Chain A
Amino acid sequence: MTQIVDATSESKRGRRSDGPLLEVRDLSVTFTRRGEQPFTAVDGVSFDVSPGQTVGLVGESGCGKSVTSLAIMGLLPHRGNRIEGEVLFEGTDLLKLGDREMNDRRGREVGMIFQDPLSSLNPVIPLGVQVAEVLERHKGMSRKSALVVGQEMIEKVGIPDPTRRLKDYPHQLSGGMRQRVLIAIALACEPRLLIADEPTTALDVTIQAQILALLSELVEGSGTALIMITHDLGVVAGLCDEVNVLYGGRIVERAERHALFARPHHPYTNGLLASIPSLESARGDRLTPIPGSVADNLPWTGSCAFAPRCFNAIPICRQTTPELVEDRGRSLRCHNPVGMDE
């Protein structure tokens, strides 16, 4: 994979990057509770993220997006979870690192932004201290110099009057401002990979656009790789270079952004795109939802999990597991894809 994206970001940041920054290989997460049927939330997910690239993980609630991100960050509790596969960050398997080593990398090499800015900040600590904390932790700065850098960061994410804001508490800020602060904190140590877990879900639409613009600006400016986790295809359309569509814990379709939007092959992707309300549709037109819910899923073993909800299902869908097949730069897991005739 010799990418143009790579070359540009390399020159921008001057980092060696002859391969992907993060390689997720066959990542599986199984929740095991005593006396309960084990539940596989993430099932053999593989994808790459290169420096400067933005990769989207898309799917509805319960498809395993957030669990994937928590597994990459090493934030899933050890008890009750079986995590398999590899998460190679520059060749080091993050899953094999000890708690302490992983803790040293979190925030410094890999940052994360959570979906609810209202509750992701500590309510009893002034914002400045929260920004400074991560710098003190990873860069060994004193509180004083950390606060100076923290102020620069807060200014960089577009918060007016940063000197005053540093002394403010989270509840004194609006949701959008708080998300900006969270971005500032996550980027304070210039991590090379940033995972954004639905960063705009809790915000209203105008603020969403601002936050997305800010994220893409910061990411492009520094060559940071970004994993964007979302259920909002609008976010994907605006930001992601490559999109992975997840269903039932597995990747069902992977494509470059434009290709995916122009011609979705998987009936699920197709359904997701069709369910977006459009300005062109006539008034009174009904939305086209995907029928059923995740609860209707079949197990992936011996069938396609999406088959019961699929408008394009054929008998084989309920008999054999579809494999993820790569073809001309995009991957697809479907027996009977749509829009293949060109």
Chain B
Amino acid sequence: MPTNPFSSFGDRKKRRIDDLAATAGDAERQPADDAKVGAAATGSAQHAGNGGTQGPTVEDAGAIAGGAGQSLLASAWERLRRDKVFLVGAGITLVFVLLALFAPLIAPHDPTKGLLLNQVRQMTNPVPGAQPGFPLGGDTVGRDLLSRLIVGSRQTLIVGVFATLGGLAGGLTLGTLAGALGGWVDSFVMRAVDVMLSIPSLLLAISIAALAPEPSQITLIIAIAVVQVPIFARLLRGSLLAQRSSDHVLAARALGVRPVSIIFRHMLPNALGPVIVQATLVLATSIIDAAALSFLGLGNPDDRQPEWGAMLGTAQQYLGDYPHLAVFPALCIIVVALGFTLMGESLREALDPKSRR
């Protein structure tokens, strides 16, 4: 074990990323189907076409389950359907997404109005307790806690999704540059990425968020996205390198296919698999990071938009007397992050040829 905790941290991150990248080049069919998953997830027009025509194989999977010619996607789906861990993760994620989408309809009260303000006494009763219509009571300015929790899921989802998308976009760009061009571009990009990976991610996010003149939702998203960029970049570069030496890329070159087409049509779609899997896992860390930054006061300062991390932050002062103020938002964060992690991990396992029985 390395003695320096920071260096070991960076190394561990790098190793994990590289292991995941290695799964791209492993099985001959595997990347294909990963990419189809990716296509379905990103919904890009061209690949959605692939995913669409490929659709039937997924349904057919039941009929040919266990057959030698069964595609990896089909068998992965077969396994996922019976995988309790995946079902739990997907269930949590689904509930959370629905909650965020329909928050204003579900929330019993307006989360911005201090409906219980008349019960708040600065000295004797700073937090209104539970009462009919307000099952979790109010917060320090008399707003309904349950409504704020429900509406807070929106902020969390927005920040998590956009930060992941931002990180994905940056990582795909850098990773493609490095993996496709090679040479000094590769060395330059990868050294920069290594430097970023060597800094603990939360520390990096805080530094970036602190650079902004005033905290806002956008700076929060940017800070978290930047932290995810090196992970995606390293991952994509690794799987692109595996693609570069693959037979079908050599065959494409032997046909005189233009280098640009080789990169975007033959290498990239086949290399996206592990990146898509990583994205589901990164969603969870993004949510946690967002909560952490908001907790530290680096998030959206607008109090009218509830955010779990920020709620946790304000609850600090009352932790001794009114722990429920902190417990509920914390539980929300934990459960949602757990949902995404369970889903991502089982997805990774299902698509990893090494872990197949």
**Which positions in A face B, CB cutoff 8 Å?**
73, 75, 103-108, 111-112, 114, 116, 118-126, 133-134, 137-138, 167, 169-172, 182, 185-186
Contact = CB atoms under 8 A, between A and B. Distances in A.
A126 to B, nearest CB: 7
- Among A111, A116, A133, A185, the one with the most B-chain Cβ atoms within 10 Å of its Cβ is A133
Contacts of B257: 107, 133-134, 137
B341 interface: no
Given A112-B254, A114-B251, 16 more contacts: A103-B256, A103-B259, A106-B255, A106-B256, A111-B255, A114-B254, A119-B246, A120-B250, A124-B269, A125-B265, A134-B255, A137-B255, A169-B54, A171-B69, A171-B71, A172-B69
Given A114-B247, A171-B71, A123 B28 contact: yes
A75 B253 contact: yes
Contacts of A186: 255
**Among all A-B residue pairs, the 7 with the closest Cβ atoms:** A123-B32, A106-B256, A107-B256, A107-B255, A119-B247, A112-B254, A120-B251
Contacts of B261: 133, 137
22 contacts: A75-B250, A104-B256, A106-B253, A112-B251, A112-B254, A112-B255, A119-B247, A119-B248, A120-B250, A121-B248, A122-B270, A123-B28, A123-B31, A123-B32, A123-B248, A125-B269, A126-B50, A137-B255, A169-B32, A171-B71, A182-B251, A186-B255
Given A119-B28, A124-B269, A134 B256 contact: yes
Interface of B: 28-29, 31-32, 35-36, 47, 50, 53-54, 69, 71, 246-248, 250-259, 261, 265-266, 269-270
B247 A103 contact: no
- Among B29, B250, B255, the one with the most A-chain Cβ atoms within 10 Å of its Cβ is B255
A111 B71 CA distance: 30
B255 A116 contact: no
A123 B251 CA distance: 12
Contacts, number: 89
Contacts of B28: 118-119, 123
B247 A116 contact: yes
Nearest to B71: A171
Nearest to A168: B53
B256 A138 contact: yes
Contact of A171 (B29, B266, B269): B29
Contacts of A104: 256
Given A104-B256, A106-B256, A124 B50 contact: yes
Contacts of A125: 50, 265-266, 269
Contacts of A106: 253-256
A122 B29 contact: no
